[in-house]
Structure 1
Amino acid sequence: MNIIIQSTLKTLQKSKNLLDKLEDNALCDASLPPYYSSIGTHIRHILDFYDCIFNLDSDRVIDLTNRSRSKDVESKCDSAVNYLNTIIEKLSKTDFDMDETVKVIDDLGLGKTEIKYTLGAIFTQANSHTIHHYAIINYILEGLKISFNDLDFGYNPTTPKLSSTLN
């Protein structure tokens, strides 16, 4: 299995660990300022990104603006776990050519644009995107006073550890 997919699976396992710990009311709690987003909206957003990749069409186009945005995934842990398991299964059982060129449609703030990527690049972006959203989820967990014992959750692997900066 490709290292990009291995890394992605390792990152997504953190979603599984988190969802196993949460109740539905915590998943959909959007009470914290300033953005009033929930853990569930971030998990759904992460998984939708991967789902867009798997919806690669016959013209080899991935449309990141065409997301499913399921409210059940945002509010029900069972639905989120099922969606996550579907993504993990597709990642695990598909042999991707990471050098294959694809077209990615995204909206960078000025309307939809089309960008050339490789599958390796879009999966790498998806993994980094996931870690970024884990950092936001970490703030929400803190605000909701939910303990999640994963010291690497929300940290990019290249982020220096506090102990290494003290030496």
Structure 2
Amino acid sequence: MNITKTLTHEFAEIIQLLNQFEDHDYSKLQSIIGGSSIGQHVRHIFEFSECLLYGQSKKLSDETIVFSYDDRKRNYLIEQSTSFAISNFKTMIDLLESEEYDLNMELNLQHRIGGNTNLNLITTFGRELLYILDHTIHHLAIIRIAVEKLYPWIDLPKEFGFTESTIRAKTFIQEKQTQI
């Protein structure tokens, strides 16, 4: 499976999750996840992806595209309305499925560190897409904690919030234990 298909799969799992939530539970602040809401984590996932995929970037020249995850839109309706979040993720899935991406395309990533200091790094579209995938799964793991503790009736896929390498490692350990 390639990066875009894997990311599309994760976004489809988010949609399946959101279809099981009422807006008041989705947007409720939960101490078990640091006082944030599941909706805030979903918005955060969406907006990082949006920065890269929807070109929250500036073209400095024909060869140089500059973007920053710090400059995301922060559309708070995504964290309050499951239907609005679902609609946005469906649009993003359509975009991922309809485009051919040059994974080696160079980008200039700007990141603010220590106040007003900007760090500028050369990266590639593929590297940032992989970052988006890992970042998404990290936040899904946090969401999983809240869902399992607070909403046990919600059905989560077995691998929800786990990277492929973690799934392989767990399988390997289980196989070793059955051989003992």
TM over 0.5: yes
Distance 1:34 1:135, change over 3 A: closer
- Structure 2: where are the runs of 5+ without partners? none
Is residue 65 of structure 1 aligned with residue 66 of structure 2? no
Q: Kindly indicate whether the alpha-carbon contact (under 8 Å) linking 2:17 and 2:156 is maintained by their aligned counterparts in 1.
A: no
Q: Kindly indicate whether the alpha-carbon contact (under 8 Å) linking 2:33 and 2:146 is maintained by their aligned counterparts in 1.
A: no
Q: For the residues of structure 1 that align with 2:50 and 2:75, how far apart are their CA atoms?
A: 12
SS in structure 1 of the partner of residue 119 of structure 2: strand
* Counterpart AA for 2:164: P
Deviation at 1:99, TM superposition (A): 0.6
Q: Kindly indicate whether the alpha-carbon contact (under 8 Å) linking 1:131 and 1:156 is maintained by their aligned counterparts in 2.
A: yes
- Structure 1: where are the runs of 5+ without partners? none
Q: Kindly indicate whether the alpha-carbon contact (under 8 Å) linking 2:106 and 2:124 is maintained by their aligned counterparts in 1.
A: yes
TM-score when normalising by structure 2: 0.84
Is residue 148 of structure 1 aligned with residue 149 of structure 2? no
Other-structure match for 2:10: 11
TM-score when normalising by structure 1: 0.90
Identity, in percent, stands at 25
Is residue 92 of structure 1 aligned with residue 97 of structure 2? yes
Distance 1:138 1:57, change over 3 A: same
Is residue 166 of structure 1 aligned with residue 139 of structure 2? no
Q: Name the Cα RMSD after superposition.
A: 1.9
Q: For the residues of structure 2 that align with 1:99 and 1:77, how far apart are their CA atoms?
A: 34
| Number of aligned residues | 166
Which moves more between the two structures, 134-143 or 145-154? 145-154
Structure number with bigger Rg: 2
Q: For the residues of structure 1 that align with 2:142 and 2:114, how far apart are their CA atoms?
A: 21
Which moves more between the two structures, 138-147 or 89-98? 138-147
Deviation at 1:18, TM superposition (A): 0.6
